[in-house]
Amino acid sequence: MTTNAEETKAQKPSNASVPVDQFNWEAFETEAGLYGGESKEQIAKEYDQTLSNIQAGEVMEGTVTAIDKREVLVNIGFKSEGVIPSSEFRYNPDLKVGDKVEVYVESAEDKKGQLILSHKKARQLRSWDRVNEALEKDEIIKGYIKCRTKGGMIVDVFGIEAFLPGSQIDVKPIRDYDIYVDKTMEFKVVKINQEFRNVVVSHKALIEAELEQQKKDIIGKLEKGQILEGTVKNITSYGVFIDLGGVDGLIHITDLSWGRVNHPEEVVQLDQKLNVVILDFDDAKKRIALGLKQLTPHPWDALASELKVGDKVKGKVVVMADYGAFIEIAPGVEGLIHVSEMSWSQHLRSAQDFMKVGDEVEAVILTLDREDHKMSLGIKQLTPDPWENIETKYPVGSRHTARVRNFTNFGVFVELEEGVDGLIHISDLSWTKKIKHPSEFTQIDAPIEVQVLEIDKENRRLSLGHKQLEENPWDVYETIYKPDTIHAGTITEVNDKGAVVALNEGGEGFAPARGLAKADGTTAAKGETLEFRVLEFGKNNRKIILSHTRTFEEAKAKEDAVKEASTQEAVKKLSSSIEKTTLGDISGLAELKAQLEGKN
């Protein structure tokens, strides 16, 4: 299309210049001859027919005629170009002169006589139909990324704000979303919510199909043991994803290094290029297992051949567990010190009581399996075994001070030194006290004097005693508490069966319930001090049976016996006296009778 200036220029004859004195001023004033014999109105009508007939509010197609930083000029066949702000074409940075664009006629002529157009409104009027058409035809469209939002980006598509999820930007994880802002990219419409007019687009969908074919081609050429170059694409706590050029593989954390790795970031970095070896792959699931450590010799193969069981080695604690510690004696070569090999003590404790991660330790090799790459170590072997000379250090009959470790119902476990423990049976705690539980006699961590009674070196056991440190009082009690002897004692405990009596001469006895009755008919109570008769004495079973009732019952019986004997004697004497008196009386009466008869 030609401009008005060009048309005017074309209408002028080539010899339009004439001298001033020859110029026809009259014809100029009447415009006669200026239009080649045609009237001005006719020429104006013909000119108007060459222009487009436009109306405000109409959507038309125009041609870009000029572009600068602020404006874009578009020719729609009107008498002047329309002006559109450049910002309305941000979504299309490739716009150039000659491109066809849709425009909306804002005004055919403003105050300055300028044609006002809008590309944005034209897009908006047709955008919804256009978006639905793109989804239906699986069309590739262009969009302008306006800004970031939660979970993704906002994209201007045909004037509509569409959502681009972060997972749909690329096939690889995005570390910096901001680099995509203000960029124009190609997308596919993947989802439309007609009710809420929500549009979801994807850039990833454009390249997935191509990548899928690339994956098939790459996986089809893979072989176990093959070495490939890849780029670190993503690092997780469990491994590293490697981009092999269109297909991803995973190096598990255990395949990064022969040594122990706490996190893959210790070994690799993002975007790092490295060689990897294919360990395994799955055609169906398209999973590829890669290895990095396999490209270097196994450290066990480089382990000194002269290293053997019994040798001392040094290393660093790399992992701690309750059951032991793993010691790295060389990169990739570890040995386990079980907690039982950390001390000669038989009391199992946590390995954390002996060492921590990072400690440098010395140990002795206990077992060495080069084929299975296993090694067990010990540190207690660096000190002498206390049981080697146990008979010399703790001979039977020797006395020592031990520390109470713990209780059981049957006795007390004590420690003589680190690794040397012994048991005091509850029956060997006291000669005299009746102990139901060891806690009645001593307490945890308390010192206690002991005597070695027996040694079991094979099973690492010592039988100890505490009461043996004193003379057996029952040897003395045997001479004191003879049956039928009477002794004073205080009742210390009462139960249904009887009472425990603390005897004044020492020791304890037991009075059955029937032996607690007192002379006044009442029953002896706790705290009373009374006399008791010894009914039974047992040295071997340490038993003294007492009775208070028998003390006064037997005395009364003796008194009654004495009284009875006295009574019987008196009766005898009386009987004898009566017998004599009767005979005499008879003689007297006879004499009296004779006298009386004589007188008569």
Residues 6+ apart with CB under 8 A from 103: 59, 60, 61, 62, 74, 76, 82, 84, 117, 118, 119, 122
> Residues 312-366: pLDDT tens digits?
999 999 888 888 999 998 888 889 999 888 888 776 678 888 888 889 999 999 9
Measured CA to CA, the distance from residue 424 to residue 466 in angstroms comes to 7
Assigned CATH topology for domain 390-469: OB fold (Dihydrolipoamide Acetyltransferase, E2P) (2.40.50)
Identify the pLDDT of residue 13.
45
Q: Tokens 């039982």 belong to which residue?
A: 340
CATH class of 474-552: mainly beta
Closest CA to 535 of 481, 475, 459: 481
Q: Is the pLDDT of residue 38 over 60?
A: no
Give 273's pLDDT tier (boundaries 50, 70, 90).
Answer: very high
- Write down the pLDDT at residue 1: 40
Q: Tell me whether the CATH fold assigned to 138-207 matches the one assigned to 474-552.
A: yes
Residue type at position 420: V
Cα torsion 501, 502, 506, 508 to 10°: value is 50
The string of pLDDT tens digits covering residues 509-565 is 899 999 898 888 888 999 999 999 999 988 777 888 999 888 887 766 666 666 666
Token pair recorded at residue 217: 């081609």
Give the residues across from 66 on adjacent strands: 73
Least confident segment among 17-31, 114-128, 263-277: 17-31
Record the tokens describing residue 84, joined without a space: 């559109």
Mean pLDDT of the chain: 80
Distance CA 507, CA 211 (A): 97
Query: CATH assignment of 138-207?
Result: 2.40.50.140
| Rounded average pLDDT over 264-276 | 91
- What is d(CA 66, CA 101) in angstroms, rounded to the nearest whole number? 13
pTM for this entry: 0.44
Q: How confident is the model at residue 9 (pLDDT cuts 50, 70, 90)?
A: very low
Q: Say if residue 47's pLDDT is above 60.
A: no
DSSP for 455-512? EETTTTEEEEESGGGS--THHHHHHH--TT-EEEEEEEEE-SSEEEEEETTSSEEEEE
Sequence length of the chain is 600
**55: phi then psi, degrees, rounded to nearest 5:** -135, 150
What is 222-295's CATH number, 3.30.2290.10, 2.40.50.140, 3.30.1510.10, 3.40.50.11540? 2.40.50.140
Place 377 in a pLDDT band, splitting at 50, 70 and 90.
very high
Give the angle subtended at the CA of 195 by the CAs of 190 and 200, to the nearest 5°: 20
Inform me whether the pLDDT recorded for 392 exceeds 50. Answer: yes
- Spatial separation of the C-alpha atoms in residues 403 and 417, rounded to whole Å: 9
Percent of the chain with pLDDT over 70: 81
**pLDDT tens sequence across 188-225:** 898 888 888 788 998 888 877 777 777 777 777 778 88
- CATH class of the structural domain 299-382: mainly beta
Tell me how far apart the alpha carbons of residues 347 and 415 are, in angstroms, rounded to a whole number.
10
β-pair partners for 408: 411
Q: Determine the Cα–Cα distance for residues 135 and 217; give it in Å rounded to an integer.
A: 29
CA 73 – CA 97 distance, rounded (Å) = 9
Q: What is the pLDDT of residue 545?
A: 92
pLDDT at residue 284, rounded to an integer: 64
- Domain map of the chain by residue range? 138-207, 222-295, 299-382, 390-469, 474-552
Choose among 207, 190, 124: nearest CA to 152: 190
What is the helix, strand, coil percentage profile of the chain, to 5? Answer: 30, 35, 35
Chain-centroid distance of CA 583 in Å reads 122
* pLDDT one-digit tens code per residue, 286-314: 688 999 988 888 888 878 878 889 899 99
Give the tens place of pLDDT for each residue, 416-473.
888 888 999 988 888 777 788 988 888 998 999 999 999 888 888 889 988 888 777 7
The pLDDT confidence band at residue 593, using thresholds 50, 70 and 90, is low
